[in-house]
């Protein structure tokens, strides 16, 4: 199944802005990799930000053309190549900033001429109000971005699971990050992850809460034992859709 060329109309609920922000879902492929990048569009000011752009420049340009917007910024959830691949060329072409958490920059050593380190202070790009949620676990500096009622969750939260954790501390952090998300977002929040393992991007959080086994754990030790369990089929990691 391919979840491609979908456009979700996402209304703001808590900003006082009564217009519509569009989320354009971009399915990006490179050999066996499949990533989801997202163009978040403000039609009042004809500008957009993109989340985790990778692999297919032509698709990004086509989406900007179709929505008649100019790229105003690049949101990175973390530093892995399949999430940052197009950040530098896009930033140069559109002369726009790249945002990544200060912790992720320190951890990864990532550098780009237009890179701006961020903390959890919200900011706006036109009508697009961005609230970063610090969610370490998959990497020490992972961020999710809450925009209106949409959460861009990178490799922290998938519809079907959560991102890999590479050691016990990472799994502890992931448990706390998931608890943080449960408190901060509402059942109606739409989840736009970096990958799909079967379910389309844009699931309601209420559905994810029911279906995702990683959201069922009540304490960090049980969560960690399961997240780091032996015998996980490594191929599953690449079972992207
Ligand atoms: Fe990753």
Unique residue bearing structure tokens 């030790």: 221
What's the CA-to-centroid distance between 85 and ligand 1, angstroms? 12
The residue segments making up the domain with residue 40 are 7-238
Quick: pLDDT tens for 194-207. Answer: 999 999 999 999 99
Query: In whole angstroms, what is the distance from residue 183 CA to residue 177 CA?
Result: 10
pLDDT at 235 over 60: no
pLDDT at 234 over 80: no
Unique residue bearing structure tokens 């550098």: 111
In a domain, 2, yes or no: no
> Which residue, 73, 65, 20, 66, is CA-closest to 49?
73
* Average pLDDT score over the chain: 91
In a domain, 18, yes or no: yes
The pLDDT confidence band at residue 7, using thresholds 50, 70 and 90, is low
User: What CATH number does the domain containing 53 carry?
Assistant: 3.60.15.10
Structure tokens, 67: 């929505």
Mean pLDDT of 107-113: 97
> What is the tally of helices (H) and strands (E) in the chain?
7, 13
In a domain, 1, yes or no: no
What's the CA-to-centroid distance between 142 and ligand 1, angstroms? 9
> Which residue, 50, 6, 41, 49, is CA-closest to 21?
41
What's the CA-to-centroid distance between 216 and ligand 1, angstroms? 22
Q: Which residues pair with 131 in a beta bridge?
A: 146
Count CB atoms within 10 A of the CB of residue 92.
12
> Which residue, 190, 206, 180, 226, is CA-closest to 23?
190
Mean pLDDT of 103-127: 97
What's the CA-to-centroid distance between 138 and ligand 1, angstroms? 7
What's the CA-to-centroid distance between 89 and ligand 1, angstroms? 20
Quick: pLDDT tens for 138-171. Answer: 999 999 999 999 999 999 999 999 999 999 999 9
What's the CA-to-centroid distance between 96 and ligand 1, angstroms? 23
Number of domains in the chain: 1
In a domain, 48, yes or no: yes
In a domain, 62, yes or no: yes
Quick: pLDDT tens for 22-65. Answer: 999 999 999 999 999 999 999 899 999 999 999 999 999 999 99
86 Cβ contact list (under 8 Å, min separation 6)? 37, 53, 54, 55, 56, 57, 60
> Which residue, 163, 143, 160, is CA-closest to 152?
143
What's the CA-to-centroid distance between 82 and ligand 1, angstroms? 7
What's the CA-to-centroid distance between 151 and ligand 1, angstroms? 17
What's the CA-to-centroid distance between 31 and ligand 1, angstroms? 17
Mean pLDDT of 52-79: 96
Greater model confidence, 20 or 152: 152
In a domain, 122, yes or no: yes
What's the CA-to-centroid distance between 184 and ligand 1, angstroms? 22
What's the pLDDT at 48? 97
């Amino acid at each position: 199944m391919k979840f491609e060329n979908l456009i979700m109309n996402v209304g703001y609920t808590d900003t006082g802005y009564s217009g519509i922000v569009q989320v354009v879902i971009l399915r990006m492929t490179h050999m066996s990799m499949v990533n989801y990048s997202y163009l978040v569009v403000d039609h009042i000011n004809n500008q957009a930000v993109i989340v985790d752009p990778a692999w297919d420049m032509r698709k990004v340009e086509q989406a900007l053309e179709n929505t008649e917007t100019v790229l105003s910024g690049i949101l990175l959830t973390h530093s892995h190549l399949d999430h940052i691949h197009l950040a530098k060329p896009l930033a140069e072409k559109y002369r726009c900033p790249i945002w990544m958490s200060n912790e992720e920059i320190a951890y990864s050593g990532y550098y780009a001429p237009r890179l701006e380190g961020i903390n959890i202070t919200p900011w706006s790009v036109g009508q697009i109000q961005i609230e970063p949620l610090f969610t370490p676990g998959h990497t020490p500096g992972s961020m999710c971005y809450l925009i209106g009622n949409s959460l861009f969750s990178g490799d922290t939260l998938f519809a079907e699971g959560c991102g890999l954790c590479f050691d016990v501390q990472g799994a502890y952090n992931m448990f706390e990050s998931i608890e943080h998300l449960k408190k901060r977002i509402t059942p109606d929040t739409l989840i736009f992850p970096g990958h799909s393992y079967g379910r389309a991007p844009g699931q309601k959080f209420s559905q994810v809460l029911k279906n995702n086994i990683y959201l069922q754990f009540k304490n960090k030790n049980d969560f960690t034992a399961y997240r780091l369990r032996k015998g996980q089929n490594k191929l599953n990691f690449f079972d992207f859709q």
